[in-house]
Amino acid sequence: MAQYSAELDGVFVALADPTRRDVIRRLGRGPTSVGDLAREFPITLPSFMKHVRTLEANGLIRTDKVGRVRTCVLNRERLALVDGWLAEQRRIWEERTDRLERLVTEEQQ
């Protein structure tokens, strides 16, 4: 459980930055080179590379280098951690609202 929590924390930290979320969104359309990705953002290449390293360190993307070109690929499976956590939260809150609804309904009767 602690490992899952640490992994989830890392994913949320990586997704906390709007530039990194935009990178994830862009990679959702398919792999692309770091150079092409970087051109889409108004920041320097070294600053952009910090974002790439954060995403890669937290398993959200993978980079492959062929010759001089480094290509970024989205790791969709890693996003399943967030999906699973959100599903669990949704289930918890639905149970709570269901209990509240039963309580209110029973008091009215």
Q: Write the CA distances from 107 to 94, 98, 99, 104, integer angstroms.
A: 20, 14, 12, 5
Q: What is the dihedral of CA 51, 52, 57, 60, to 10 degrees?
A: 100
Domains and CATH numbers, the chain: 2-108 (1.10.10.10)
What digits encode the pLDDT tens for the residues 8-38? Answer: 899 999 999 999 999 999 999 999 999 999 9
The string of pLDDT tens digits covering residues 61-71 is: 999 999 999 99
